[in-house]
A and B are shown apart, each in its own frame.
Chain A
């Protein structure tokens, strides 16, 4: 036995421990971004505000609470005023229009248009610009940065919450850490229960703006959770759209019914 061997051993262990702690500190410092600045949300708002019109081809799968699945495909047009038009070609020819006068779903085979009058009446069903979070006057909204969190295979997202006076709802938005595009959006009630969840993926750059090419939406309804997947292809922004595209012209032989009866 070496005299003082225990002391040497303990000192060796202490040195090892010190090196270990130094390594940990070094790794932690490397992992922390210099300055650790709060990401910005401005770029996303600015980008979306630069979009005057958007058009794309869409493929949509909707999973109803009872297990029924529906498939749709067609052409989609929207503008910055919130007007929207989808010309479905599958499973049958149908036209959906949302404008300042109301929401119209026209089914030529039935010679019927299902209508809900009033501005924004279709906004809950269709988001005119995929991935757009803030519409209209953003000065009344309170934006709060909640930090970075991991998701999927150790990817990072910056998390924001948006609230507005008079509304109990909270909108939680996940963006990429550089603040270029939106990854997820949640609409929560005051108790944190998710009412709507939107997942955005497959982002493409069109006209300098990051837009999602895949949007997954889960929405809580009285009948259960409605789940939909929408894929956008051939996305074009700021094209001049035909005048009157967002106006529904009702012909004489078309019957008008409330949307609830659809």
Chain B
């Protein structure tokens, strides 16, 4: 930064012009400050005793500059000082407002960093600037944020920003599921200046259970913006069960694409998407093809991205779709909801409440959801699928080792059914043990069904960000 150079310029830029009339008797004089907007106490300098000579005027000016610079206004300088024959000393300030902020290599009007680093039109303050640099580096994961401070011809300040973003992320984890076995998930993200992209690959490891799936998806989103376009496309190959025992298996290839608009603010995010989804089926009784054309609204609130305490958060995701289904020749409506809320109760003890809900007016099993997965993951090899599955749970999280090991016992209950079925319920209880080692986290889960035939289910998940 050129702040030190600016300070030297400011000090050297003091121009003192004063007119002294000789023969005027000694008197108590007043000092008038012109151009003072900053709240710095100069009240003790507003009057002086006796007749000031050049040295005294210089010392008053030096004291004013010192006070400004000590408070971080390092671009402050005095344009001139005039001592009138009436004994009034008039001092003209240049407090140096920030006139222009320019981010190098980006469109200034759309760049949020420029808007947040400093408010244009305000008096330049080095301390505030330094604080904001640190804040923005942490917030936008910038490897560096260099700021050049320069003075314009009219005495105002220009800030030139040179941000260097940490642009790539890589996430990998393996999730345990009692129906599909171990499922690996790989996500690679790249955040550019104007475009964010993300590739996600998911696959159940082969040869574990009767059902399996593999999928790949690419999503693109306008970067560095609170609203903009979002689009995505992907494909899914799955082998699913037509019955609850897994005796009849069908396979499906699903290709999908969507595009729309997003709006985000703080922890909230809203997406409106127009989608198309094509299914090619094998061994499926109703036919070989299906197409869905839904308009979807996705609302997400996730304050884990904004909150500092990892155990004090609210996560809620709701996706509602409505459109046309070619297989059943009818319009449909469906939604998926998931939420989890965690609150600190006492030192190292947190409470959580979680819920998930799925509903569709589509009757075909292809569009239903397995019941004993998610919060009700308490039965192995039970492939019951329904068009309405609702479950909720609650429990405690105990922090066994600070920031590292967490134990979360909980109770979960749910209801499932369909348009023609009687609703059934299921209850289970279990516990998670999470070991968080910073880059890598491992989660071990034990669940036992209370209400039905389910046995003890163990699942292991592990993953990290690299």
Contact = CB atoms under 8 A, between A and B. Distances in A.
Interface in B384-430: 402-404
Contacts of B266: 191-193
Contacts of A65: 438
Sorting the interface of chain B by its residue count into under 10, 10 to 19, 20 to 34 or 35 or more gives 35 or more
B298 to A, nearest CB: 20
Contacts of A191: 139, 265-266, 306
Contact of B308 (A152, A167, A218): A218
Interface centre among B127, B266, B308 (most CB of A within 10 A): B308
A225 B122 contact: no
B119 A69 contact: no
A244 interface: no
A168 B129 CA distance: 11
A4 interface: no
A49 B104 CA distance: 45
A63 B403 contact: yes
B345 A195 contact: no
B437 interface: yes
Interface string B298-335: 00000001111100000000000000000000000000
B64 interface: no
Nearest to B344: A152
B345 A194 contact: no
B137 to A, nearest CB: 5
B44 interface: no
A118 B3 CA distance: 15
B306 A193 contact: yes
A166 B345 CA distance: 36
A151 B135 CA distance: 28
A197 B132 CA distance: 17
A6 B155 CA distance: 87
Interface in A192-245: 192-197, 199, 201, 218-222, 225, 227
Nearest to B403: A63
Nearest to A196: B308
Contacts of A260: none
A201 B348 CA distance: 13
B345 A153 contact: yes
Nearest to A69: B402
B402 A151 contact: no
A227 B116 CA distance: 26
B128 interface: yes
Contact of A195 (B135, B347, B402): B135
A189 B135 contact: yes
A67 B119 contact: no
B346 interface: yes
A69 B305 CA distance: 24
B45 interface: no
A137 interface: yes
Given A152-B343, A189-B116, A168 B132 contact: yes
A259 B389 CA distance: 58
Interface in B4-44: 39
Interface string A105-128: 000000000000011100010000
Contacts of B70: 118-119
B164 interface: no
A190 B116 contact: yes
A67 B404 contact: yes
Contact of A225 (B39, B71, B128, B308): B308
A168 B39 contact: no
Contact of B128 (A118, A166, A196): A166
Nearest to A169: B135
Given A189-B139, A194-B307, A227-B403, A168 B437 contact: no
Interface string B208-247: 0000000000000000000000000000000000000000
Contacts of A188: 306
A66 interface: yes
B56 interface: no
Interface string B135-160: 10111000000000000000000000
Contacts of B347: 201
A140 B41 CA distance: 14
Interface string A61-100: 1010111010000000000000000000000000000000
Nearest to B123: A166
B282 to A, nearest CB: 48
Given A193-B139, A222-B137, A151 B343 contact: yes
A239 to B, nearest CB: 29
A227 B310 CA distance: 11
Cβ-closest 5 pairs across A and B? A192-B266, A218-B308, A197-B308, A193-B306, A194-B308
9 contacts: A66-B438, A151-B343, A151-B344, A152-B345, A166-B123, A168-B116, A191-B306, A195-B138, A199-B344
Interface of A: 61, 63, 65-67, 69, 118-120, 124, 137, 140, 151-153, 166-169, 188-197, 199, 201, 218-222, 225, 227
Given A124-B131, A166-B128, A197-B308, 18 more contacts: A63-B402, A67-B403, A67-B404, A69-B402, A119-B71, A120-B127, A152-B343, A152-B344, A166-B123, A166-B125, A168-B119, A189-B135, A191-B266, A194-B306, A218-B308, A219-B308, A220-B138, A220-B139
